[in-house]
Structure formats: C-alpha cells, structure tokens
Amino acid sequence: MSSNIVAVGLSNNLAVDVIIIMFIYIEKVLTKHATFVRERKMKNKLVVAAVGVIVVAASLVLEGCECRTVQFIFGDSLSDVGNNKYLSKSLAQASLPWYGIDFGNGLPNGRFSNGRTVADIIGDQMGLPRPPPFLDPSLTEDDILHNGLNYASGGGGILNDTGTYFIQRFSLYKQIELFEGTQELIREKIGKEEADKFFKEARYVVALGSNDFINNYLMPVYRDSWTYNDDTFIQYLIQTLRAQLTALHALGARQLMVFGLGPMGCIPLQRVLSSSASGGCQHRTNTLALSFNKAAAKLMDDLGKQLANSSFRFGDAYDVVSDVISNPNKYGFENSDSPCCSFGRIRPALTCLPASRLCKDRSKYVFWDEYHPTDSANQLIANELINNFNKDD
C-alpha cells in the first residue's frame, strides 16, 4: 500500500469527497465575511488549502502502489521453479513426470524435485509469497509487485561458462541483468520513488555455486579445469561473487541471504562416478565445497560491514546434511546414497523420466534424482538454515 495512503488515511473516493467539501466550505466562508480585506485574506488561505488537498488526492490516484514485501530469488536447479521449461533448447529440464509429484496437482512444474525447494520452504515460514518464474509469459507488473520473481535456472552458475553443455541456462550475471529489466518495468508502473522503496524492502536469495564445480571446474573439457588449481579457482569464484553481490546492492538489495554448498561429493551422481569400489563420497569435491563455504561466509561478513544499510547473511547447512547422509536413520530416512527416481541398477540416469522407477516411500529418501534432494530433505535443510539465521538475531 502506498505510503501516501497510509499517511493521509483516505481512500481514493474519500479524497474526492474532501475536495468537494473543501470547495463548499470556501464558498460559505467567502459569503459570510463582509469586509474586502478579510475576504481576500481568507480566500487566499482557503484556496491554498484546497489546492493542497487536490495535490494529495491526485497523488493517491497516480502514485499509489499497493505493494508488499516480496522475494527475488537467484540460483540454479535447486531453486528453479520453472524458468528452464521455457528455455526450449535447455538440456536441464524438470518438465516430465515424475518431477512435482508431491507438489500441488502432482504435475511437473519446473522444480527439480518431487516437491518444494529450500527457498519455497523458507519463504513460507517467513510469511512471504512464492515468487513465480521470470519467464512465465502470463506475468504482469502487478504480479511482480505482489509476489516478486524467481530468476533461478537449472545448470546456471556464478560463472558465465558454467554449464555450457546444457546449451541454455541463466548464469548469475544473466539473472542480475534480467532483474535490472524488471526494475525498469516497475519504475514505469509506479514511479522511481515507490519502486526504489519496493526493491529496498524486498528479500533476496542467492543460492548457487555447485555447478561451478560439478559442471565446470571438475570436468576436463572446461578451460577452468586446467587454468586454475583448487585454491585459485575458489578465489576466482569469490571475487566474481563479490562483484555480483555488490551489483545487487547497488540495485537496491538490502536484505540478502546466500546459501552455502552442501556435501556435493555425496550426491548420487558423484558416488557413481567415484573411483572408490564402495561408491563412497568424493572427498576432493566435498573439500572444495567446505573451502567455498568458508570463503563465502567471510565475503558476506565483509560486505555486510562495507555496504551501506545492508543485512547480508550466509546460510550454511553443510554439517547437518553431511550427518544426514552418514546417519540417515537418525533423521527418519532410510536411504541417503541413491535416488528415489531412477532406472534401478542402470546408473547414472541423469534425470527422472516417466519410465523411471520410483521408490516406495519418497519421504524416506534423501535424494530425488542423481543431483537433487527430496522434499523431505529440503525441509530439513530449510529448518537448519532458519535456525542458524535465528541464532544470528
């Protein structure tokens, strides 16, 4: 709701009524007073007052914005809610059964899981609306003002080169560019002042980085794999992320959360590709995730101190996810090393397909497919992040 409306306490119709009453009042006062001097003085004062009411009423009609606090989400397939299904050439898709089987009507909706994402769950618990995918062609400016937007794209990363073999995906740089376009639309809709306020009061989530390792640095076909070593690649990622988060702050992001990486060396795909005979977690990949999280946490702390009026937070659920994978029964799970949706012994099946076999109880599996957690695992991860954020408060 517009700050003008809140301050004056009038509806648009009531504002018009006030204008009419004010002019009637002017007429009565002017006829009541006899002397020319007093009449002129009173007339001047009341005309000024009436003009003031007209200006306020006009501002209610023309500059009003019934806005509320919303989220803008940037990320990869762990947060994508449907952008990639509009990218017709993208190989990173969640548009076939059985994706979305435990969400809404049970049909694929673009989420790379059987249910909700971590960002979905955290937003729900914060009382925030779920932002729709940026590429949804039915969206209007009013939808953005009421629900925010999600720019996350499966296969995307911090770096532009990440995930190129998926053909189409949005890197974080591209997502920020799209956000700039959104800002232009909203400024045209409600004016610069109201738009600036709207974007500064919004909540921001940045959740990506695993593809920069799994679908870039750790693949020999990518230049980064021989250009950098482990330490220098993480430095490169953090320097890039610093520039991106600083750009978001310049665009109005004041309350921003960055989600850290989980033990990505333990996802089913990495286990299958492991040189270990037992199919265990890939130690080097997990070490990279821990090193990235440590550097990203420091980055967020530094930016929170350096950037004006900012609340930048880092969410780290690595330890609890690692414990879930090592001790699934402790958390109510029965399987933490293979996907619920798969082709059985034919591994890896890089995506969940209609011909895939589903596990009997999806709530007992940590992983939905070769890459992504189930709804139940996402709930646990979200709870851990929320608890950590509350401790910081």
Q: pLDDT (tens digit, 0 to 9) for every residue of the chain, 393 residues total?
A: 333 333 333 333 434 343 333 434 434 433 444 443 344 444 444 333 433 433 333 333 334 567 899 999 999 999 999 999 999 999 999 999 999 999 999 999 999 999 999 999 999 999 999 999 999 999 999 999 999 999 999 999 999 999 999 999 999 999 999 999 999 999 999 999 999 999 999 999 999 999 999 999 999 999 999 999 999 999 999 999 999 999 999 999 999 999 999 999 999 999 998 867 677 999 999 999 999 999 999 999 999 999 999 999 999 999 999 999 999 999 999 999 999 999 877 777 778 989 999 999 999 999 999 999 999 999 999 999 999 998 877
Pairing between strand 341-342 and 357-358? antiparallel
* E strand spans, 220-284: 255-259
- 117 conformational bin, left if phi > 0, alpha if psi -120 to 50, beta if neither: beta
132 backbone dihedrals φ, ψ, rounded to 5°: -75, 165
Burial class for 282, CB neighbours closer than 10 Å (0-12, 13-18, 19+): buried
User: Does residue 249 carry a catalytic annotation?
Assistant: no
Secondary element (H or E) of residue 388: helix 375-392
Cα(171)–Cα(50) distance, integer angstroms: 54
* Residues 227, 229, 232, 235, CA torsion sign: positive
Q: How far is CA 175 from the centre of its chain?
A: 11
Output the CA–CA distances (angstroms, integers) from residue 365 to 210, 358, 380, in the order listed.
21, 11, 12
Taking alpha carbons only, the member of 313, 344, 257, 273 closest to residue 75 is 257
pLDDT of residue 323: 98
Amino acid in position 185: L
User: Does residue 369 carry a catalytic annotation?
Assistant: yes
pLDDT of residue 48: 37
- Percent composition of the chain: helix, strand, coil (DSSP 3-state, to 5): 50, 10, 40
pLDDT of residue 72: 99
Q: Considering 77, 79, 336, 356, which one is annotated as catalytic? A: 77
pLDDT of residue 65: 67
Is 241 in contact with 296 (CB distance < 8 Å)?
A: yes
Q: Considering 212, 316, 369, 375, which one is annotated as catalytic? A: 369
pLDDT of residue 51: 37
pLDDT of residue 89: 97
Q: Other C-beta atoms within 10 Å of 307: how many?
A: 18
Q: Considering 171, 210, 342, 372, which one is annotated as catalytic? A: 372
Query: In the beta sheet, which residues pair with residue 153?
Result: none
